[in-house]
C-alpha cells in the first residue's frame, strides 16, 4: 500500500500556476522544458513527502485440505498428553478445562470438571469465563482438531498459556476403558 507522509499536497497544485507565470512561449522547445520542470518538481515533492511502499512480510499460507491446516497449526501450538492432564487433575492444579465440542456432544459425556464453550463461540465467550489472559487453559474436542484450531485462535487473542489435549475426547475415553 502506498503511504504518504506529507501534510499538504497544495504545493503540487501550485507548480502549474508558477510555471505558467514564467511567461514561457509555447513553442515546441519550451513545452518540452516545461514538462521536464513539472516532472522534476513532482518527483521532488514525492521524494520529500517520504512516499514509500509497505510490503506485508508475512505470507499467507494456503492449505489443500482441513487436515493439512490442522497439521500445520499443531506445529504452532502446545499440546498436552492425556497423562499430563490426568496428573494436573490429580494434583488439583489451577487450570481451566474447556470442551469446545457442541452442546449435544458435551451432554453425551465429557471429561470431569470441563466447562463447555463450543468452538464457534469460544472467542466471543472466553472473556466472560476468565479474568485475564494468563491462566492456564486446556482445550479439547472429539479428536484434537477443533481444539488445535481453537488453541491457535486464543493465542492470537493474547492468551499466553493455552494447550490442546492430544487425542481429545476419543483419547480420553479409550484411556478410561
- How does pLDDT run across 114-163, given as a tens digit for each residue? 999 999 999 999 998 888 899 999 999 999 999 999 999 999 999 999 99
Phi-psi region of 144 (alpha: psi -120 to 50; beta: other; left: phi over 0): left
For Cα atoms 102, 96, 71, give the angle at the middle one, nearest 5 degrees.
Answer: 60
Sign of CA pseudo-dihedral 78, 98, 100, 121: negative
- Which contiguous run of DSSP H or E holds residue 98? strand 96-99
Note the pLDDT tens digit of each residue in 83-117: 999 999 999 999 999 999 999 999 999 999 999 99
Residue 144 and residue 165 in contact, taking contact as beta carbons nearer than 8 Å: yes
Note the pLDDT tens digit of each residue in 67-86: 999 999 999 999 999 999 99
Could you tell me the pTM of the whole model?
0.66
Q: What is the number of helices (H) and of strands (E) in the chain?
A: 8, 7
Q: Which residue has the cell 471429561?
A: 111
Please state the φ and ψ torsions of residue 173, each to the nearest 5 degrees. -60, -45
- The superfamily (CATH) of domain 66-176 is Rhodanese-like domain (3.40.250.10)
Q: Which of 70, 114, 139, 141 is catalytic?
A: 141
Q: Where are the domains of the chain?
A: 2-53, 66-176
Cross-strand bridge partners of residue 79: 164
141 tagged catalytic:
yes
Amino acid at each position: 500500500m502506498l503511504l504518504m507522509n506529507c501534510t499538504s499536497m497544495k504545493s503540487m497544485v501550485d507548480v502549474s500556476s508558477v510555471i505558467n507565470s514564467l511567461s514561457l512561449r509555447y513553442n515546441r522547445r519550451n513545452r518540452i522544458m516545461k514538462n521536464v520542470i513539472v516532472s522534476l518538481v513532482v518527483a521532488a515533492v514525492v521524494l520529500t513527502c517520504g512516499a514509500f511502499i509497505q510490503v506485508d512480510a508475512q505470507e499467507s499460507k494456503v492449505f489443500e485440505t482441513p487436515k493439512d491446516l490442522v497439521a500445520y497449526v499443531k506445529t504452532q501450538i502446545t499440546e498436552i498428553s492425556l497423562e499430563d492432564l490426568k496428573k494436573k487433575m490429580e494434583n488439583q492444579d489451577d487450570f481451566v478445562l474447556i470442551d469446545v465440542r457442541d452442546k449435544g456432544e458435551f451432554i453425551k459425556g465429557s471429561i470431569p470438571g470441563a466447562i463447555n464453550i463450543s468452538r464457534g463461540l469460544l472467542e466471543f465467550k472466553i472473556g466472560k469465563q476468565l479474568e485475564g489472559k494468563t491462566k492456564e487453559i486446556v482445550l479439547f474436542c472429539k479428536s484434537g482438531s477443533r481444539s488445535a484450531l481453537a488453541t491457535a485462535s486464543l493465542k492470537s487473542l493474547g492468551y499466553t498459556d493455552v494447550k490442546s489435549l492430544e487425542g481429545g475426547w476419543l483419547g480420553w475415553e479409550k484411556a478410561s476403558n
